[in-house]
Chain A
Amino acid sequence: MKAKFTTEEIMNSLDGIQRAEPTPFLYTRIHARLHRNEDSTVFAIFRYITKPSFVMAVVMLIILVNGFIMYNRIEMQQNQEDMSQTIAAEYGRQNAINPYELNEAP
């Protein structure tokens, strides 16, 4: 059986082709999709921040930051106490008057 068309006939079949046009509602559809995308972005953010893993991570981070602050405070307090004890000791050796010493005979 002979082929219906020659190779050249097929090759030339696109001659005089016209541009295809989309449906007249293209813009309306794109507009709707853009709004849907915006809504879904907000929804996606909300969904993400309410995820248990995200909530757990935030809680852990808060605990960690709190722990760090508390540790720093305790350390600072200890440092202050140490300093005041040192100062007191220094002053005590030089200036402190023992009340019992007052009644003692020279």
Chain B
Amino acid sequence: MTEQELIYRLKEGDGVAFRHLVETRQSLVFNTVLGFLQSTEDAEDVTQDVFIKVFESIQQFKAESALSTWIYRVAVTTALEYIRRKKRKKRFGFLSPILGENNEPTLELPDFHHPGIQLDNKEKAAILFKAIKELPENQQIAFILNKIEGLSYQEVAEIMKTSLSAVESLLHRARINLREFLKKRNNLNE
């Protein structure tokens, strides 16, 4: 099935085409979303949300970019919305027993272990994932798409609707910020 044919059939509400879309793009969506959420359960739920959004808004897809680029955009937006919602809930959930007096979580969240990381790198990657969470949103998007999803700078630029040089700059700043965060962490541990 060509991409044009797939888009046409999706717009017609073809269930077979939708199944094909899910089966061929599920790892793309899941892996991207997982990079942001760092929780397999949350990523499963948000992946479902992404495909439902794609199904419901396919009529608005103008084919100005590749279908995958558009799906990446939906995935990134949905994941970030989910994180914001969760943060809001945490901010206002001061009555929840998990939170202490200063509205700070008293229970430390467990380390995230990405299933695609080699065993000997698991511990180091868990530290890096913690640092990624501290990055500003745009740097986070660029870093996850490039380092975790393995997309080229050009592809990241298309997804983020920005220039190649802007992506290069975002990634450069992301690396600097991550190194700073890790140095601080290492100094604390020394």
Contacts and interface: CB of A to CB of B under 8 A. Distances in A.
Given A19-B27, A22-B44, A27-B19, A1 B189 contact: yes
A20 B125 contact: no
Nearest to B51: A30
Most-contacted residue by chain B among A6, A13, A16 (CB, 10 A): A13
Nearest to B124: A13
A24 to B, nearest CB: 10
B117 A29 contact: no
Q: Is the interface of B mostly helix, strand, loop or mixed?
A: helix
Nearest to A14: B147
A37 B49 CA distance: 12
Interface stretch (B86-94, B95-103, B153-161, B175-183): B175-183
B23 interface: yes
Interface residues of B, number: 42
B27 A14 contact: no
B126 to A, nearest CB: 9
B48 A26 contact: yes
Contacts of A34: 52, 55
Contact of B118 (A16, A22, A33): A16
B48 A29 contact: yes
Interface in A37-90: 37
Interface string B51-92: 110010000000000000000000000000000000000000
Q: How extensive is the interface on chain A, given as a class? A: 20 to 34
Contact of A37 (B47, B52, B114, B118): B52
Contacts of B52: 30, 33-34, 37
Given A2-B190, A9-B124, A26-B22, A20 B182 contact: no
A21 B33 CA distance: 11
A21 B27 contact: yes
